[in-house]
C-alpha cells in the first residue's frame, strides 16, 4: 500500500526532529572541549552527523535482488593473465605506492589484551613484525622507500605507538593515523549514551565505525594530501591479520599501466569454498561493479547468495585504490557506502546502535573498478586459533616476512581445521595444549573437541577426528602418527 502524503510528511518531520536532536547532543559534547580540541573533534562528529542523517533517510533494501546483473566480460581478471614486470619497472612502481594496514581491531575474541596485531603468530613474531619485515625486505631489495601506514582506532593507538618505537632503526618509513571515534546511540531514542567527550572516561559509549571510515580519516589526517604531493599514486590496503596480503608487483603493474583505462579501484577476490559462503561478493548493479555483503541480502535470497555456483568469488579485503581519485570523490561528496547497522547490548544494560561502513563498498563510487581473481594464498587471515594453528605449522615457510605454502605439501589447498571453543578458543589455552605444533604437511581435515593435548613431534595425516567426551581427557603421546583416525573416549599415556 502506498504511503499517504500525510504519513510521508509526518515521517520526514520525525526524521528532521531526530537529526536536529542529535546535532544538539553533539554540540553539547563539543561545548565541553577547549578551542584546540574542538576543531578536530567537530570534523569527526560532523562525519557521524552526516552518517546518521543518511541512516534516517535510507529505508528499504540497498539492493533490489532482481536488478542484479551478470558480471560483464573482463569485470574480474584472472591473476595468471597479469604481466610480470621487469626489475627496473618494479623499482619505479614501488616509488608510487603506499601500503596501508587496517590496525583497529583488538585481540579480545582470541582472549588477548591490546591490539590484535601484537599477537605472536610465527617464531615469536607478531602480525606487525611480519608486516614490517615485508616492507623492509621490499625497500632493501629494490632500493626504494615504500611507506607503511597503520590505521589505528582509539582502542589500539596508544599500545601501537609504544610498539612501533622498536622499529625506529629499520629501513621503513612509518605513519599512523586514527579512524574516527563515534558515539553509540540509544536504540530507542537515538540519543548518544555518552555524557562527556572524554573517550577514555567512558570507553563503552564510543566505537570505531568500521574500516569504511578509512577514506575520510586518511584525508583528515593530512596523509592523503602529503602522499599525493610526493608523487605517490596508489595505496594497497588490507587487514593486518591477513598474512597473505603482501605487495604484489603484477597487480601493481596493472594499476600503474600507462593510459586512460588503468583501473582506479581493484578488489582482490578469490574462489569461494564452503568455508567462505558468507563472504562479500562482487556484483554488477545499475551498470557498475559493487560489493554485496550478506547483511544487504533479503532473507529469501540468502541461499542464493551463499551458493558457490551463483557467486563464485568473495572479497579478500585486499584493495588497490588511486589516491587522487579518493581525493576527488571526497571533494565531490560522492562517497556513498551502504550503512551497516550493528546493534549491541552493553554490560551497562544499554541497547545501542552502531552505524558502520565497509571500505570495499566504496568501489561503486569509482569510475573504473575491477576485480582480480587471486590465488587463495593471498587470503590467509587469522581470526581464530584454528587459523593460528595453520600458520604456526610446517604447512607454511617464511621468507622476507612473507608466508608461503611449503613446497613439500603435495596439494595447494589448506586443511580444514575445527577446534573446540571451550578448550582452544583463547590463545593462552590453545598454546598450552601443544608441546610442539604437529606436522600437518599431509593433513586434509582436523576436528578436535573437548579436553585434548598433544605431545611433541605428533604427525597428523588425512582426516583426523579427536573427541574427548565430557569429563574425559585425551593426551596424544609424543611421536604419535595419526592417519585417517577417529580417537574418542579417554586416553592418557603417562611417562615413567
Binding-site residues for UTP, in ranges, read: 116, 179, 210, 241, 383
> Grid coordinates standing for 41?
573533534
Q: For residues 41 and 33, give the distance between their C-alpha atoms in angstroms, rounded to a whole number.
A: 9
Q: For residues 356 and 429, give the distance between their C-alpha atoms in angstroms, rounded to a whole number.
A: 32
- Three-state DSSP at 220 gives helix
CA 14 to chain CA mean position, Å: 36
Q: For residues 355 and 338, give the distance between their C-alpha atoms in angstroms, rounded to a whole number.
A: 10
| Residues in Cβ contact with 157 at an 8 Å cutoff, skipping those fewer than 6 apart | 176, 178
Q: For residues 53 and 361, give the distance between their C-alpha atoms in angstroms, rounded to a whole number.
A: 19
Angle at 208 between CA 204 and CA 212, to 5 degrees: 160
Q: Phi/psi zone of residue 450: left (φ > 0), alpha (ψ -120 to 50 degrees), beta?
A: left
The closest of 443, 479, 449, 476 to 461, measured between CA atoms, is 443
Which whole-number Å values give the CA distances from 326 to 217, 234, 366, 424, in the listed order? 12, 10, 8, 42
Check: CB of residue 103 under 8 Å from CB of residue 115. yes
Binding residues for substrate: 211
Check: CB of residue 242 under 8 Å from CB of residue 380. yes
> Grid coordinates standing for 402?
612473507
Binding residues: 116, 179, 210-211, 241, 383
Name the residues annotated as catalytic: 383
Amino acid at each position: 500500500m502506498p504511503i499517504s502524503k500525510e504519513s510521508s510528511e509526518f515521517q520526514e518531520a520525525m526524521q528532521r526532529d531526530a537529526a536536529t536532536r542529535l546535532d544538539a547532543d553533539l554540540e553539547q559534547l563539543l561545548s565541553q572541549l577547549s578551542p584546540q580540541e574542538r576543531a578536530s573533534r567537530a570534523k569527526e562528529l560532523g562525519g557521524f552527523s552526516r552518517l546518521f542523517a543518511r541512516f534516517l533517510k535510507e529505508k528499504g533494501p540497498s539492493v533490489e535482488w532482481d536488478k542484479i546483473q551478470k558480471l560483464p566480460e573482463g569485470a574480474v581478471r584472472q591473476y595468471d593473465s597479469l604481466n610480470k614486470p621487469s626489475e627496473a619497472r618494479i623499482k619505479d612502481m614501488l616509488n608510487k605506492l603506499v601500503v596501508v594496514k587496517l590496525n583497529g581491531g583488538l585481540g579480545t575474541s582470541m582472549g588477548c589484551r591490546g591490539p590484535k596485531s601484537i599477537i605472536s603468530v610465527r617464531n615469536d613474531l607478531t602480525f606487525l613484525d611480519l608486516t614490517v619485515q615485508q616492507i623492509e625486505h621490499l625497500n632493501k631489495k629494490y632500493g626504494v622507500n615504500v611507506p607503511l601506514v597503520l590505521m589505528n582506532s582509539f582502542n589500539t593507538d596508544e599500545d601501537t605507538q609504544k610498539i612501533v618505537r622498536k622499529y625506529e632503526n629499520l629501513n621503513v618509513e612509518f605513519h599512523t593515523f586514527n579512524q574516527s571515534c563515534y558515539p553509540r546511540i540509544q536504540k530507542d531514542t537515538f540519543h548518544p549514551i555518552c555524557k562527556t567527550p572524554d573517550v577514555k572516561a567512558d570507553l563503552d559509549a564510543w566505537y570505531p565505525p568500521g574500516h569504511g571510515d578509512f577514506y575520510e580519516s586518511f584525508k583528515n589526517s593530512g596523509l592523503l594530501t602529503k602522499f599525493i604531493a610526493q608523487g605517490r599514486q596508489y595505496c594497497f590496503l588490507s587487514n593486518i591479520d591477513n598474512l597473505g596480503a603482501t605487495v604484489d608487483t603484477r597487480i601493481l603493474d596493472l594499476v600503474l599501466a600507462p593510459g586512460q583505462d588503468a583501473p582506479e579501484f581493484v578488489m582482490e577476490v578469490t574462489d569461494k569454498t564452503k568455508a567462505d559462503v558468507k563472504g562479500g561478493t562482487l556484483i554488477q548493479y545499475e551498470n557498475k561493479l559493487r560489493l554485496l555483503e550478506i547483511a544487504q541480502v533479503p532473507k529469501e535470497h540468502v541461499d542464493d547468495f551463499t551458493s558457490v555456483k551463483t557467486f563464485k568469488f568473495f572479497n579478500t579485503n585486499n584493495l588497490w585504490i588511486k589516491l587522487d581519485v579518493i581525493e576527488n570523490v571526497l571533494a565531490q561528496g560522492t562517497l556513498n557506502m551502504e550503512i551497516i547497522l550493528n546493534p549491541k547490548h552493553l554490560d551497562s544494560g544499554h541497547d545501542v546502535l552502531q552505524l558502520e561502513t565497509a571500505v570495499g563498498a566504496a568501489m561503486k563510487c569509482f569510475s573504473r573498478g575491477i576485480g582480480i581473481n587471486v590465488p587463495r594464498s593471498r587470503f590467509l587471515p587469522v581470526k581464530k586459533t584454528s587459523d593460528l594453528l595453520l600458520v604456526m605449522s610446517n604447512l607454511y615457510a617464511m621468507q622476507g616476512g612473507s608466508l608461503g605454502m611449503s613446497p613439500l605439501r603435495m596439494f595447494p589447498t589448506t586443511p580444514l581445521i575445527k577446534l573446540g571453543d571451550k578448550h582452544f578458543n583463547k590463545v593462552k589455552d590453545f598454546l598450552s595444549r601443544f608441546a610442539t605444533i604437529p606436522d600437518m604437511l599431509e593433513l586434509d581435515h582436523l576436528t578436535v573437541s573437548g579436553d585434548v593435548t598433544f605431545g611433541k613431534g605428533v604427525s597428523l595425516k588425512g582426516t583426523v577426528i579427536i573427541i574427548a567426551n565430557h569429563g574425559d581427557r585425551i593426551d596424544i603421546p609424543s611421536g604419535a602418527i595419526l592417519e585417517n583416525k577417529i580417537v574418542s573416549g579417554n586416553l592418557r599415556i603417562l611417562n615413567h
